[in-house]
Amino acid sequence: MSDGPQSATTPLDGFDAHSNARDIVRLFQFGDCAVDVTLKKIGHLVNAFISNYVAESLEIPLLLEERLNSSGPDDTSTEATPHSHVISGGRIAATYMFADMGELNYHSTVSYTTVNTHTAEAVRAADVTVLEKLQEAIRPELECQVCYQIMLDPLTTSCGHTFCRRCFCRAMDHTNHCPMCRRLLPLVHSQQTTPNNKRVARLIQHLFPDLLVARKALAAQEDMVDEETQLPLFPCTLVYPQMPTFLHIFEPRYRLMVRRVLENGTRKFGMLAYKPHSEYQQGGPHWQEYGTVLFVERVEMLADGRSLLETRGLYKFRVVETGMVDGYLTGRIQRYDDISVHEEEAIEARETGMPIQPDQDDLVRLHHSSTQQLLDYGLEFVRQAQARSARWLHQRVLAAYGQPPEDAATFPYWLASVLPIAETEKYALLPAAGVRERLKITAEWIYRLEQARCEYEAELAAKVREQQDRHQQETRDAVAPTPPAQLEPRSVTTRGPELAEPEAHELETSGAEAESTELPES
């Protein structure tokens, strides 16, 4: 026991013969936090332990003398009479009992004087014993009931239970019930801004400094994200470098992921697009090989824990290896940058210097254009689309993505972000390793779209002409003269000589009938 006091690195090292009473008493006071379950349990444990210990430790009496201090102009403690008592058990136990009697002002200091022949080492040994037993008794109450470690940044709920701030936030991602008592908790706009439990935090800081340091180191290690080895990945949609992306985060696993990238300060995660059904292989990944690292520029936390993110693409990457952490995807990635400017210029010189055959189509000729010509081709396409008031260039789209950039490196990403074509077509930009290659891809899109538009307009014009011709024919038919109607033969009553010519009358009638039957055929 003689070595204990010499090797102890505890809060006792800061105590002297005139220590402030708060340095000891406030570690165990809980009267102003009566609803706090953790402090209430600790208070009962400390009170029971010290009461028993003082009763059994009569061999180390100490004279405790109160020294009144003024905490401010409104403090009336200096007008009171200081108290003094002889209490056994060492400085910790004696000071607690002094305060428990109600005779020690909160802002007072206490001086300690040994009685009889006991040395300061004996008093210190008694204090170390008390401290070790107190630590053993109350440590379970200072462990988070979610992670079962010493609480880090303790946060107390409205129902009185205390947890690590991170553990509580993770629990609230799944449900807004207390992890201990299952009571329904009010929705908090942001648990990150809620004040911590200062009493519990000071208890941990004074009684378990070594455990707290180790706990902080572990948390820092968890926060340490190497973008090349363990980048959080979010399979969702196709995004590009330098382009904005707006996300609504509502799944618990991705709420946790976003909170972690915000807490560790990196504010980065990778975005991957899903493979089309036709490319998916049984047992293989559902996401594409290439993606984009996003940086969270702005976040809006909603009352129910969901969040709205405004992000911007930083750079492309290729997935090397993937894993799972707490339900969301992480991966080891390889940054995928463009080829050098020197290589770009060499490729352009080689392709533009090749002779063009007269029988080559326009698309092949387009691929032999210079990089600047490819960019101008794309910009002219956008200008013509704006002149036609194309719906994909609505004002809301331009407000989000901006006007078409004149930078050759950025224009393909901008066009792919606003152009309504298949995502499988757009994905080709990510594996492309050069500016010129991406411009040729977008030029091919534009060429095919223009061809389709011309064919559609020609077909539409043909239909319009056909309808006009049909309408003109119907109009002509409506105004054409109607042929005279044939008169029915009238029966004539003849007398005298006419009766003598019956055969001629019959011949005329037969001719009229024959003539009337031939009209429809004409």
Q: What is the pLDDT of residue 72?
A: 53
3-state SS, one letter per residue, for 329-353: EEEEEEECCCCCHHHHHHHHHHHHC
For residues 169 and 189, give the distance between their C-alpha atoms in angstroms, rounded to a whole number: 11
For residues 268 and 363, give the distance between their C-alpha atoms in angstroms, rounded to a whole number: 39
Q: How many CA atoms lie within 13 A of 211 on its CB side?
A: 18
* Domain 154-221, CATH among 3.30.413.10, 3.40.1380.20, 3.30.40.10, 3.40.50.720: 3.30.40.10
Q: Which helix (H) or strand (E) holds 113?
A: strand 109-114
Q: What is the pLDDT of residue 180?
A: 84
Q: Which helix (H) or strand (E) holds 445?
A: helix 435-479
Q: Calculate the alpha carbon distances from 16 to 25, 112, 130, 134, 426 in Å.
A: 15, 8, 17, 20, 72
Say what the pTM is: 0.56
160: phi > 0 → left, psi -120 to 50 → alpha, else beta; which? left
Cα end-to-end span (Å), the chain: 135
Residue type for position 493: T
DSSP 327: T
pLDDT tens-digit profile, the chain (522 residues): 334 333 334 444 544 545 455 554 544 444 334 478 888 888 888 888 887 776 666 567 778 888 887 655 555 555 678 888 787 777 888 888 888 888 787 778 888 887 776 667 777 888 788 888 888 888 888 988 888 889 998 988 888 899 988 888 777 766 778 888 888 876 554 556 678 889 899 999 988 899 999 888 888 776 665 555 689 999 999 999 999 999 999 998 999 899 888 888 788 999 999 988 877 777 778 889 999 999 999 999 888 888 999 999 999 999 999 999 889 999 999 989 888 888 989 999 998 887 777 766 777 888 888 999 999 999 999 999 999 888 899 999 999 999 999 999 999 999 999 999 999 999 999 999 899 999 999 999 999 998 888 888 888 888 888 888 888 888 877 776 666 555 555 554 444 444 344 444 443 444 434 333 343 333
For residues 67 and 84, give the distance between their C-alpha atoms in angstroms, rounded to a whole number: 9
Q: What distance lies between CA 138 and its chain's CA centroid?
A: 39
- What CATH number is given for 225-335 in this structure? 2.30.130.40
Q: Where in the chain are the domains?
A: 3-142, 154-221, 225-335, 341-452
Q: What is the pLDDT of residue 191?
A: 56
Could you identify the residue written with the tokens 């009185």?
160
Q: Order of strands across the sheet with 61-67?
A: 84-88, 61-67, 109-114
3-state SS, one letter per residue, for 140-155: HHHECCCCCCECCCEE
Q: Write the DSSP string, 10-64.
A: SGGGG--TT-BTHHHHTTT--GGGTT-HHHHHHHHHHHHHHHHHHHH-TTSEEEE
Q: Calculate the alpha carbon distances from 319 to 174, 290, 426, 437 in Å.
A: 29, 6, 18, 21
184: phi > 0 → left, psi -120 to 50 → alpha, else beta; which? beta
Residue type for position 117: T
For residues 519 and 522, give the distance between their C-alpha atoms in angstroms, rounded to a whole number: 5
Please enumerate in sequence order all residues whose Cβ is within 8 A of that of 230, keeping only pairs 6 or more positions apart, or say none: 323, 325, 330, 331, 332
Could you identify the residue written with the tokens 């946790």?
256
Q: Calculate the alpha carbon distances from 301 to 153, 247, 255 in Å.
A: 21, 12, 10
